Amino acid sequence: MSFGYVTLKTRLLQFFIAKTSILVPAMADKRACAELRCFMNRDAAIGLLARRDLTRLSTEQRASLLLDWWFSDPDAPGYAGLPDPLKSMLAHSVEPDDPTRTLYDPLLQLALEYNYMGVVNTYLSMQLALPDRDVTVEGDVDEMVVCPCCRYLSLQTSANDEICRVCFWEDDGTTELSSRSGPNHQTLRQAQENFQRIGAVTEASRRYVLPDGKQRYGLAIP
User: What does the domain layout of the chain look like in residue ranges?
Assistant: 3-138, 145-216
Q: What confidence tens digit (pLDDT) does each residue in 6-44 have? A: 445 445 445 443 443 444 333 333 344 445 678 999 999
pLDDT of 36: 62
Q: What confidence tens digit (pLDDT) does each residue in 115-141 have? A: 999 999 999 999 999 887 889 999 999
* pTM, full prediction: 0.82
Q: How far apart are CA 182 and CA 200, in angstroms?
A: 17
CA–CA distances in Å: residue 99 to residues 70, 105, 217: 12, 9, 31
Give the chain's residues under pLDDT 70: 1-36, 222
pLDDT of 95: 87
